Structure 1
Amino acid sequence: MKKFFMLIAMLIFCGMQASAGDIYVSADRGNDAADGSSNAPLLTISRALKQAREWRRLKSPEADGGIRIILDGGTYRHSAPIFVRPEDSGTVQSPTVICGANGGAKPVISGGMEVTGWKRGCDDSRLPAHVRNKVWVAEAPLLGNRIVETRQMYVDGVKARRASQFSDGVMERMKDFNAEDETITIPTPKFDLKSAKQLEMVVHQRWAIAILRVKSMTDDGNGNTVVRFHDPESRLEFAHPWPQPVIGGERGNSSFFLVNALELLDEPGEWYQDYPSGRIYYYPEDGKDMNTSHVVVPVTETILAVEGTRERTVGNIRFENVAFEHASWLRPSYEGHVTLQGGFRLIDAYKLAVPGLPEKAELENQAWIARPEAAVTVRHAHDIEFKGCTFRHIAATGLDYVTAVSNSEVSRCTFEDIGGTALQMGTFPDGGFETHVPYIPAVKQDICSDIMVKDNVIRDATNEDWGCVGIGAGYVRDVTIEGNEVSHVNYSGICVGWGWTALESGMRNNRIIGNHVHHFARQLYDAGGIYTLSNQPGSVIIGNRIDNLADAPYATNNRAFYIYFDEATDGFTVENNRCPNAEFGYNRPGPSLVVRNNGPQVKTDTGN
């Protein structure tokens, strides 16, 4: 009898472990014609989502207690986004969970393709002579019938550097910035670049960078070269007043470097893709045989899109123990990249001859912006969770809660090697909405709210667009950012707020608590370990630890702070934050900003 009851218990236990709502997927042994059981897994995530969708549509019993899409370890390559739609929604009692298998390697959802067929040596006369027998060459992969173009390449899990004028992290001071002629004058480069048709200039300008496609270079014979640029970025760069390069700053002129020419491929670890052939050149370190290396280029900018509408939202979807890798960012190759702040590119901007808007009498410029691309996007959704996930080798934004997202959570995730902002959320009014006008949505639910960002690790973000941030929140309310570690970013660490306005706009009750921000402002200033904008009643900044403010080598001023209350910050209580000093930055804060008991004497326990 005892054995009988043990057998019954084991059967019950096994039934609990292998729920009828489980769908198995394997990149190695799957088949989309299979039934999705553990012994006959599906091949693709999209097919698994479709099966789960059908269970819900038909009200099958498999959906009663929730549906789990269980991914074997391996790489799931996608050349187009995976879409999660309103029809995929779960319920509180029956969520949909996309997760890695227990005890296995973390599955990777990748937007990349491998580069193979490398050959050593190249006699192209554009290459510096001393590297021609060290450079390896491969044809770019084809996607459909098109050659893959890329601005990013990863060799054995490490991001390679595009061929550059200087060593990594090195820039040079410009000689002049002429807005009327739309030219920048620089010291004449030592490289002969007259045949470099894809050359770009990266410009350091206060709290942002610009990426400008070079149109022409004219040597004046006196050690100087005058550079002109293509439109639309030339018009934007020289018309917009904030931020522009500085000539004669406190710490010198603004800086630049040239990038993306075969002539500049002269150091190990650099690479270049030729246009229009697509051919890829790489100078490996330590004489590496490239045919033994794993080389990946990203082919899609968005890997996963959770897409609801205002009328029909997506809800109760959870991602656990999944990695998202290899998302692209190509737009600067087509139209340059001139930003206002935080990686938000300008689509138009100029200085007002007569200052003033009804909402802001002293405003002296106009700007219209567009949102950066992102590897994972969420729109019009609720209860969307990412737990224990990894975001790695992403060229622009990692994860973006774009608009009308509520009651959601990002916890215990790791973000590393992110080109732009690691985690972004909320409205940054774009398109036809002038960015200085306070955003008050016609539909109240359009503002992102009740989002928990907790216990995540963010490191080496902003490595493609230095002006992005670790965690960025625009117009949001009731958002909690707690217990995160944010480090090794080129601008600010945690940023909350937008609009540069003292007016009420719906931002309120935001909580920045117990985070550790360190090694920030490594390249750009006008920064803060924690940075705020505008009026946010009922908000707090409490118990954070902020240290290792970097000495950005090419900053033109010394405006970097452990906490920076930028224009019209108001409504915050700021206390018990530990940092080497409490000399914070203030830019016209409001009367309800309360700052007390901060500095080196404060003891905090952030768990990091």
Structure 2
Amino acid sequence: MFLRPEDAGTVTSPTLIEAAPNEQPVLSGGVTLTGWRKDGSNRLGLPAAAQGQVWVADVPMVGGRALAFRQLWVNGRKAVRARTPNDDNLPRLLTWDVDKQEAWITATAVGTLRQAGQLEMVLHQMWAVNVLRVKTLTVQGAKVRVTFHEPESKVQFEHPWPRPIINGKNGSSAFYLTNAVELLDQPGEWHYDGQRGQVLYWPRPGETMSSAHVVAPVLETLVQVSGSLDQPVAYVQFKGLTFAYTTWLRPSEQGHVPLQAGMYLLDGYSLQQPGTPDKAGLENQAWIGRPPAGVELAGVHHTRFERCQFLHMASAALDYQSSTHNDAVVGCTFRDVAGNGIQLGKFSDEGTETHLPYNPKDEREICTNELLENNLLTDCANEDWGCVGIAAGFVRNTTIRHNEVSQVPYTGISVGWGWTKTANCMRDNRVTANYIHHYAQHTYDVAGIYTLSAQPGTTITENRVEEIGQAPYVHDPDHWFYLYLDEGSAGITVQDNWCPAEKFLANANGPGNVWKNNGPMVANAIKQAAGLEPAYRDLLAEQIKKPAANGAQVKQ
């Protein structure tokens, strides 16, 4: 669905795209896989435990070629791309050689694997994970030399932050391997056999493949609302819709090396002599790309999403990119999202070094006066562990209130970008009365609420943050926080936030920050009022609205 300026409404007659009474319309980017049959072949590489257990279906042809995909859903539940290990007992790097662009791991970590094929390494790095396509595996006794494809190999080995850790406080960086038939060894796992154009799946108990609804994603973006500074799309409202099943293939084609919050590196390196005009000690230079979203908006104002669901997304779910103002996202559910639940505002353009302050001459470019209210965000960033529930970049006068964020691998709510104390476009943002819990499930250097850069007049108040995760492989088990003002944060008031202990961090901050009355002493009334307001608490009990059994797709 593509909306242009001519689709705009007016303040008295907005354009409404909403569910009919008693209906649950789904805009789906997926296709149903049918024709499942028991795999009777003695498939080379398939583990003995999987022989006779696996089912197979032919991959549909799209545009004259076999459909490629990185996700698979069975009866509305994401299947696991075959991997090892199957739990959190992740192996660790032995060595990481920047000059030779190679890693060494133990032979036990690869099991019976001897050919790289389509294999990928998902590498844990402090506050991010990388997807690195394996080029070669060379077994030498008890160790294995691993090299990676370009372009990610160059970027991975040259960029300074975040980097793999060798022999750190909690050992070396952890990883898992995925996307090889040799790794398909338990129910719920699947593998794409590109040579045969088939997908293999080992059903979970209770799943009947002859009647299962199996969906593979096809479309990257379901809805694009695109205006300009002078011709915006205005007064468009979406109500009661479900957006589901999107794809993202860049990691399969170019790898994925994020800097932070899922923003992936296009290039990055250390300066031989640290220091830039904006930051005297800076050695880190980086240029980033922005991951796509299932629903994207730019050049809009007075748009609204109300009581919508964003489910089964392969990257971000909802993205207000640039030149947006006076928009609202209210009472929506974001669940089973591979990347950020909500992205909002600029995160540096591709041609701009990412530590430079953003302060456009035309202030209409700035995402301003936005409202995110009473939304439920859960099980977001379940593939890209460095993503967050709500990721706001360079935003102004934006309100994030009464949302609940849970079951995320990294930070709950992140506001700001640029790592700079220099004045920029950000100011007067409000993060209030949100409930963040069960965060940091996989990464540390983390907080329930996290900020970057100068943003005077910004307030973080009356939030509730608790239930930190404790993954065994995090680089520094003590380096986690409930509230965290990171590099350049300035002009921010942090007050009356409830959390179980006074565990906070102010790192390389600028001037003007105020901390007052945060911790377990905060009034119980504030604690209990955080999160979804009563009129929206039904979101917690609401059953996921499953896409139609026919796998209806958005028409193109």
SS of the residue corresponding to residue 205 of structure 2 reads helix
Alpha-carbon deviations, 1:114-142, whole Å to 9, x = none? 00001102321210122111000000112
1:107 aligns with 2:31: no
Moved more, 403-412 or 177-186: 177-186
Determine which of 198, 201, 209 is the counterpart of 1:279: 198
Alignment partner, residue 562 of structure 1? 482
Structure 1 residues 312 and 276, CA gap change in structure 2 (3 angstroms): farther
- Amino acid aligned to 2:363: K
Determine which of 212, 215, 220 is the counterpart of 1:296: 215
Alignment partner, residue 24 of structure 1? none
Shift of 1:540: 0.3
Q: Is the 8 A contact 1:410 1:453 kept in 2?
A: yes
1:128 aligns with 2:52: no
Alpha-carbon deviations, 1:453-498, whole Å to 9, x = none? 0000000000010000000100000000000000000000000000
SS of the residue corresponding to residue 234 of structure 1 reads helix
Q: Is the 8 A contact 2:73 2:79 kept in 1?
A: yes
1:326 aligns with 2:231: no
Alignment of 1:56-455 (within 5 A): 82-102=1-21, 104-121=22-39, 122-188=41-107, 189=109, 191-221=111-141, 223-286=142-205, 288-455=207-374
Alignment partner, residue 62 of structure 1? none
Q: Is the 8 A contact 1:196 1:262 kept in 2?
A: no
Shift of 1:261: 0.2
- Amino acid aligned to 2:216: V
Distance in 1 (CA, whole Å) between partners of 2:357 and 2:494 is: 24
Distance in 1 (CA, whole Å) between partners of 2:379 and 2:220 is: 19
Unmatched 5+ stretches in structure 2: 533-556
Distance in 2 (CA, whole Å) between partners of 1:319 and 1:250 is: 48
SS of the residue corresponding to residue 87 of structure 1 reads helix
Alignment partner, residue 403 of structure 2? 484
Distance in 2 (CA, whole Å) between partners of 1:195 and 1:248 is: 28
Alignment partner, residue 530 of structure 2? 606
Alignment partner, residue 582 of structure 1? 502
Shift of 1:586: 1.5
Shift of 1:106: 1.6
Distance in 2 (CA, whole Å) between partners of 1:388 and 1:376 is: 15
Distance in 1 (CA, whole Å) between partners of 2:92 and 2:461 is: 39
Determine which of 391, 403, 406 is the counterpart of 1:472: 391
Q: Is the 8 A contact 1:139 1:280 kept in 2?
A: yes
Moved more, 186-195 or 558-567: 186-195
Unmatched 5+ stretches in structure 1: 1-81
Structure 1 residues 220 and 140, CA gap change in structure 2 (3 angstroms): same
Alignment partner, residue 547 of structure 2? none
Q: Is the 8 A contact 2:314 2:339 kept in 1?
A: yes
Q: Is the 8 A contact 2:91 2:175 kept in 1?
A: yes
Shift of 1:287: 6.4
Alpha-carbon deviations, 1:503-522, whole Å to 9, x = none? 11010000000000000011
Q: How many residues align?
A: 525
Shift of 1:190: 5.1
Q: Is the 8 A contact 1:261 1:272 kept in 2?
A: yes
Distance in 2 (CA, whole Å) between partners of 1:278 and 1:587 is: 50
Shift of 1:196: 4.3
Structure 1 residues 208 and 190, CA gap change in structure 2 (3 angstroms): closer
Distance in 2 (CA, whole Å) between partners of 1:492 and 1:468 is: 8
Distance in 2 (CA, whole Å) between partners of 1:349 and 1:150 is: 28
Q: Is the 8 A contact 1:196 1:263 kept in 2?
A: no
Structure 1 residues 555 and 232, CA gap change in structure 2 (3 angstroms): same
> How high is the TM-score relative to the length of structure 2?
0.93
Alignment partner, residue 58 of structure 1? none
Q: Is the 8 A contact 1:138 1:281 kept in 2?
A: yes
Q: Is the 8 A contact 2:94 2:105 kept in 1?
A: yes
Q: Is the 8 A contact 2:155 2:257 kept in 1?
A: yes
SS of the residue corresponding to residue 243 of structure 2 reads strand
Shift of 1:439: 1.0
Moved more, 535-544 or 275-284: 275-284
Distance in 2 (CA, whole Å) between partners of 1:584 and 1:195 is: 46
Distance in 1 (CA, whole Å) between partners of 2:370 and 2:54 is: 48
Q: Is the 8 A contact 1:543 1:577 kept in 2?
A: yes
Shift of 1:311: 2.5
Rg: which structure is higher?
A: 1
Structure 1 residues 227 and 196, CA gap change in structure 2 (3 angstroms): closer
SS of the residue corresponding to residue 460 of structure 1 reads strand
Distance in 1 (CA, whole Å) between partners of 2:349 and 2:195 is: 33
Alignment partner, residue 59 of structure 1? none
Q: Is the 8 A contact 1:149 1:278 kept in 2?
A: no
- Amino acid aligned to 1:112: G
Alignment partner, residue 540 of structure 2? none
CA-based RMSD of the aligned residues comes to: 1.1
SS of the residue corresponding to residue 442 of structure 1 reads coil
Shift of 1:195: 3.5
Distance in 1 (CA, whole Å) between partners of 2:194 and 2:87 is: 23
Structure 1 residues 229 and 196, CA gap change in structure 2 (3 angstroms): closer
Structure 1 residue ranges, 4+ long, deviating more than 3 angstroms after superposition: none
Alpha-carbon deviations, 1:433-466, whole Å to 9, x = none? 0000111113111010000000000000000100
Shift of 1:227: 0.5
Distance in 2 (CA, whole Å) between partners of 1:288 and 1:406 is: 46
Distance in 2 (CA, whole Å) between partners of 1:471 and 1:368 is: 22
- Amino acid aligned to 1:372: P
Q: Is the 8 A contact 2:404 2:531 kept in 1?
A: no
- Amino acid aligned to 2:292: E
Structure 1 residues 108 and 482, CA gap change in structure 2 (3 angstroms): same
Shift of 1:361: 1.6
Alpha-carbon deviations, 1:292-319, whole Å to 9, x = none? 1000011011010001122311000000
Distance in 1 (CA, whole Å) between partners of 2:129 and 2:98 is: 17
Q: Identity over aligned residues, as a percent? A: 46
Shift of 1:552: 2.4
